[in-house]
Amino acid sequence: MAAILLSPQCVNAKDYLMLNPWQPTTNQQRNYDQKSNDLGVAQSLIDLAEMYRKTGEYEKAKPLNERALIIREKTLGPDNPDVASCLNNLALLYEATGDYEKAKLLYERALSINEKALGFEHLDVATILNNLAVLYDDIGDYEKAKPLYERALSIPEKALGPDHPDVAACLNNLAALYQKSGDYEKAKP
């Protein structure tokens, strides 16, 4: 004989919950659904903002990333790596529009969050280190860029090995910095 499942419409809600104790209460389900919906909206905003960023429409991308950041901070808390990702994305936009000070502050906050949440040797930490180094490189502050590039390089070297494409990209950035600063011997492979 096959088991027959009761749908919630067949019994009152209290009886249904007694039959299904793992079923969340209405408020729990509503809160979960709202968080899930909010995070889905945030991701859609991020995706759209990234499309605008890639096409150079930075002013259209900024408010979308700002909204996504607010949603993620509210939903996940201010110290979540997904919040750091939003901060990094927003910093890229500010950097692209020449607001280096604002970009620097956003990168530094994102870096702090990821170092605390993920550890100092995580690949996401390396990404933000690299982005912050690029910012300093772009404004000609090679002394600040160099240790950031070096640290950004060491993380994927350890995690992925010396022959990984991410390592090559980091080496390329560091070599370009050496070249710009006139240290041609260090720029060589």
- pLDDT-derived band at 35, boundaries 50, 70, 90: low
Residue with more model confidence, 85 or 28 = 85
d(CA 127, CA 100): 18
For residue 1, the model assigns a pLDDT of 35
Note the maximum CA span of the chain.
83
Cβ neighbours around 94 below 10 Å, total = 21
What digits encode the pLDDT tens for the residues 64-112?
Answer: 999 999 999 999 999 999 999 999 999 999 999 999 999 999 999 999 9
Mean pLDDT of the residues in the chain: 85
- Per cent of the chain over pLDDT 70 is 80
Query: At a CB cut-off of 8 Å and minimum separation 6, what does 129 contact?
Result: 111, 148, 149, 151, 152, 155
For residue 72, the model assigns a pLDDT of 95
For residue 76, count CB atoms less than 10 angstroms from its CB and return exposed for 0-12, middle for 13-18, buried for 19 or more: middle
What digits encode the pLDDT tens for the residues 149-187?
Answer: 999 999 999 999 999 999 999 999 999 999 998 887 887
